[in-house]
Chains A and B, each alone.
Chain A
Amino acid sequence: MNFDFSDDQKSLQDETHRFLRDRCDLSVARIVLDDQKQAYSESVWQEMVELGWAGIAIPEQYGGIGLGYLELCVMAEEMGRFLAPVPFSSTLYLFCEALLNGASETLKQEILPPVATGKLVGTMAFAEGFGFPGRDRIGVRFEGGKLYGDKWPVADAMIADAAVVLAVNEDNKPCLCFLDLDQEPVHRRQLESVDPSRGQGGLEFFGAEAESLTAFEGGSDNSGWQLFQRVLNSAAVLFAFEQIGGADACLAAATEFARERYAFGRPVGSFQAIKHKLADVYVGNQLARSNAYYGAWALATGAEELPLAASVARVSAIQAYEYAASENVQVHGGMGFTWEADCHLYLRRSRSLALLIGSSGLWKKQVTRELERKFV
């Protein structure tokens, strides 16, 4: 039994932790939060790029460092812990995942090297307003090599140079299309969200030039939709690590506060009402962490359980983070609900991550569907 990260992976995590602690503590997320014009921290992202992080999981043949999913997982956990306001997730978990799995060799050769060197920030656009896109509910059209329609919200829409977009083609089949966002028929608009430290926006296409990603699973009729599902499953695992990082930070903050804050002549952490609450948070975090490891294992080994493991990891992580973040506010009392205290930053992030690639209800459906496939 070796259900843990390796020593090398753990030291990469430590290295990530130290960098973020020194260069990207919560004051950085706060700058982006307070200044609506800033969609991310450009300087921190530049430093990360210089460390090679933008290409951490891009194979060496495309100019990256060529580490694997497990390395990405441990870094994601730290990104989540420090609420890093950088396009790490949009570029690495979504955009690169789509290209690595679905792009032609030529396109990979063209696009991945500038990603690895930080010249290109990417994202994935799939949502179209309220609800979550189903196979038969995609409005954006890909016709004659051009995209038409509106996508919102899109993470990092204001700063991305390129995107992968979920659309339907002329045969009414879902497909993922790559496009350069710096072209005239692409209109961007900034959107306000509950989590301003991670910018979101809308992308509207008026015949923007794009290229369909057809290399996944031999490019069958269904491959566009399967590629989208594959990217979501990968992202679910990676976001789960961001979520458990955030959830751990909430538990640590609440525990420290409960040890130091006195009321009725004793630390509030000596009251069972607080102890039991924090024990429950701990239990939720440990279950989520354990399920996230399961997702990491499935992702890294290419196991056929990935859709099950990813959905379990995601729901568990959503539940743990939202619970930890809301109880962190609660333990801090009135102070926890001030702008000054950091509690609301995590509360906001826990909610936005719970929504970004589909809510827990949607992913629970996948859990049961996969179990049915396995058992019935």
Chain B
Amino acid sequence: MDFDDTPEEAEFRLEVRSWLAEQASAYSLKSFDDLSFEQQLSLGREFQARKAERGYAKITWTQELGGMGGTPMQAVIYEQEEEKYNFPTVFFAISLGMPIPVMRRFATEAQQQRYLKPALRGEEVWCQLFSEPSAGSDLGGIRLKAVRDGDDWVLNGQKIWTSYAHISDFGIIVTRTDPTVAKHKGMTFFFVDMKSPGIEVRQIKQAAGGGEFCEVFFSDVRVPDGNRLGEINAGWSVAIATLMEERFAVTDAAGGGAQLEDTMHFLRRELGEGDGGLDDPCVREKIADWYIAESGINNFYARLLTGLSQGQLPGPEAALSKIVIARKLQAQSADIMDFCGPAGAIYPDFQVSRANDYRIAWLEAAGYRIAGGTDEILKNTIAERVLGLPGDIRVDKDIPFEELK
């Protein structure tokens, strides 16, 4: 039992490390706060182009496709090393995570030639147009209509929670093409040019102040039939393939919130000795609770990586990480604020980086528990796909979509 790399893994890690160290001075910044959004994005594109040149943008893809023909474990090693820095990669995470693998799987040869590499290089960004105001966890409830008109389809409706739609060049989209059949049977999948006439993108201001989620309005947007991915009315299976896309994200057990070591130093510094500070039994018990959860996630992750290193891809059990991390982030951030007393609610100007700020993390955590699968949906996933409990009874399963409430 050990936590060591195999010799091949160690060699790859060294190679990645030295390459990243070379890039760091130009692209990894302590904070991006001094740059405008456009400047951040353009820095991100430059770094992404360099990544793609090395095949690091999609490590498991072949060289012809723009990858490096690597293993899933190498992809993880790259991410682990990249995560030690602060590179502006966030704009491409969705783009390369789901839309581009789906294009690789369902688009024609010519389309792949045209679209894959520019996305890997960060020249073009893709978004995923799935959720709608009335269809979130229940994706099968989407209403955005696509009606056939000659060689085109005409799209009308609205999408929401589309990350980075405002900077996207293209998007994959699931639409309603036949409302007279049951909901999962009348959907069709396309990709769209986000610059098409009739598309309007509005950023949504989130509760924590961020604006990377968008709503996207479609008014008589024409999409050529050639942009269809999969068969007509078979969009549900393409959507499922998208959601199942084997992504094995590197886990940060702190969930982007305060690191435990920093927090302990902070408590010692700001609250001093004795009651109320790091010596207070109430405080100490909370610290133990956080660490036990954090250690549980880190060690769970080490077990998954052991499987991955031996060629087994993680199954649905991987869903538990997000449930634990998001809840812990919320609780731990609130605890730290509690320890600070009334000042816990204030944004004073002391030495914490934005990434390590418990006040921001506390608010963000509320969204993190929803985004990318709510706690409740993930628990269903575990119950049904890991434990084998029966699926929920679907009362809308055999009813034509247009008759549903």
From the candidates A5, A269, A290, A300, name the one contacting B302 in the complex (CB within 8 A).
A290
From the candidates A270, A372, A376, name the one contacting B389 in the complex (CB within 8 A).
A270
User: How far is it, in angstroms, between the C-alpha of A274 and the C-alpha of B384 when the chains are bound?
Assistant: 11
User: How far is it, in angstroms, between the C-alpha of A76 and the C-alpha of B226 when the chains are bound?
Assistant: 61
Within 8 A of A (CB), among B328-386: 376, 378-380, 382-384, 386
Chain B residues near A319: list those with CB within 8 A.
292
A275-B384, A376-B264, A376-B265 known; A270-B390 Cβ under 8 A:
yes
Instruction: Add 11 more A-B contacts to A275-B380, A283-B320, A367-B292 (CB < 8 A).
Output: A1-B3, A4-B303, A5-B1, A270-B389, A278-B387, A283-B324, A289-B303, A291-B299, A312-B296, A316-B292, A375-B265
Chain A residues near B317: list those with CB within 8 A.
286
Within 8 A of A (CB), among B274-310: 278, 284-285, 287-289, 291-293, 295-300, 302-303, 305-307, 309
A283-B323, A291-B292, A312-B291 known; A2-B390 Cβ under 8 A:
no
From the candidates B268, B284, B292, B299, name the one contacting A293 in the complex (CB within 8 A).
B299
Q: Is the CB of A301 within 8 A of B285?
A: no
A148 to chain B, nearest CB (A): 34
Q: Is the CB of B288 within 8 A of A278?
A: no
Chain A residues near B3: list those with CB within 8 A.
1-3, 297
Chain B residues near A371: list those with CB within 8 A.
260, 264, 287-288, 291
From the candidates B9, B265, B382, name the one contacting A283 in the complex (CB within 8 A).
B382
Chain A residues near B287: list those with CB within 8 A.
367-368, 371
Chain B residues near A70: list those with CB within 8 A.
1
User: How far is it, in angstroms, between the C-alpha of A131 and the C-alpha of B173 when the chains are bound?
Assistant: 63
A273 to chain B, nearest CB (A): 11
From the candidates B1, B299, B382, B388, name the one contacting A279 in the complex (CB within 8 A).
B382
User: How far is it, in angstroms, between the C-alpha of A361 and the C-alpha of B298 when the chains are bound?
Assistant: 22
Chain A residues near B303: list those with CB within 8 A.
3-4, 289-290, 293
B64 in contact (CB, < 8 A)? no
User: How far is it, in angstroms, between the C-alpha of A293 and the C-alpha of B320 when the chains are bound?
Assistant: 18
B5 in contact (CB, < 8 A)? yes
Nearest residue (CB) in B for A315 is B292
A2-B309, A364-B289 known; A290-B388 Cβ under 8 A:
no
From the candidates B278, B285, B309, B386, name the one contacting A372 in the complex (CB within 8 A).
B278
Q: Is the CB of B380 within 8 A of A272?
A: yes
B138 in contact (CB, < 8 A)? no
B240 in contact (CB, < 8 A)? no
A3-B1, A276-B376, A368-B288 known; A294-B299 Cβ under 8 A:
yes
Q: How many residues of B contact A (CB 8 A)?
A: 51
B391 in contact (CB, < 8 A)? yes
Within 8 A of A (CB), among B1-17: 1-5, 9
A328 in contact (CB, < 8 A)? no
A3-B303, A255-B388, A259-B389 known; A368-B1 Cβ under 8 A:
no
A283-B324, A312-B291 known; A375-B261 Cβ under 8 A:
yes
Convert B204-228 into 0s and 1s, putting 1 for each residue whose CB lies closer than 8 angstroms to a CB of A. 0000000000000000000000000
B211 to chain A, nearest CB (A): 32
Nearest residue (CB) in A for B324 is A283
Chain B at the A interface: mostly helix, strand, loop or mixed? Answer: helix
A-B contact pairs, 11 of them (CB 8 A): A1-B5, A2-B306, A3-B3, A272-B392, A283-B324, A287-B324, A301-B2, A367-B287, A367-B288, A368-B285, A376-B264
Convert A268-312 into 0s and 1s, putting 1 for each residue whose CB lies closer than 8 angstroms to a CB of B. 011010111011101100111111011011001100000000011
Chain A residues near B384: list those with CB within 8 A.
275
Q: Is the CB of A1 within 8 A of B302?
A: yes
User: How far is it, in angstroms, between the C-alpha of A240 and the C-alpha of B388 when the chains are bound?
Assistant: 26
From the candidates B2, B265, B293, B386, name the one contacting A282 in the complex (CB within 8 A).
B386
Within 8 A of B (CB), among A1-55: 1-6
Could you tell me which B residues sit within 8 Å of A by CB distance? 1-5, 9, 260-261, 264-265, 268, 278, 284-285, 287-289, 291-293, 295-300, 302-303, 305-307, 309, 317, 320, 323-324, 376, 378-380, 382-384, 386-393
Could you tell me which A residues sit within 8 Å of B by CB distance? 1-6, 70, 251, 255, 258-259, 266-267, 269-270, 272, 274-276, 278-280, 282-283, 286-291, 293-294, 296-297, 300-301, 311-312, 315-316, 319, 361, 364-365, 367-368, 371-372, 375-376
Q: Please list the 7 inter-chain residue pairs (A to B) with the smallest Cβ-Cβ separation, ordered nearest first.
A: A287-B296, A275-B383, A290-B299, A364-B288, A279-B379, A367-B288, A290-B300
A22 to chain B, nearest CB (A): 26
Chain A at the B interface: mostly helix, strand, loop or mixed? Answer: helix
Chain A residues near B383: list those with CB within 8 A.
269, 275-276, 278-279, 282
User: How far is it, in angstroms, between the C-alpha of A270 and the C-alpha of B391 when the chains are bound?
Assistant: 6
Q: Is the CB of A286 within 8 A of B306?
A: no
Nearest residue (CB) in A for B261 is A375
Chain B residues near A1: list those with CB within 8 A.
2-5, 9, 302, 305-306, 309
Chain B residues near A286: list those with CB within 8 A.
296, 300, 317, 320
Q: Is the CB of B1 within 8 A of A282?
A: no
Nearest residue (CB) in B for A252 is B387
User: How far is it, in angstroms, between the C-alpha of A315 and the C-alpha of B297 when the chains are bound?
Assistant: 15
User: How far is it, in angstroms, between the C-alpha of A138 and the C-alpha of B254 when the chains are bound?
Assistant: 40
Nearest residue (CB) in A for B5 is A1
B274 to chain A, nearest CB (A): 15
Q: Is the CB of A282 within 8 A of B380?
A: no
From the candidates B285, B296, B388, name the one contacting A316 in the complex (CB within 8 A).
B296
Chain A residues near B278: list those with CB within 8 A.
372, 376
User: How far is it, in angstroms, between the C-alpha of A283 and the C-alpha of B323 when the chains are bound?
Assistant: 9
User: How far is it, in angstroms, between the C-alpha of A274 and the C-alpha of B380 when the chains are bound?
Assistant: 10
Chain B residues near A288: list those with CB within 8 A.
296
From the candidates A4, A255, A291, name the one contacting B387 in the complex (CB within 8 A).
A255
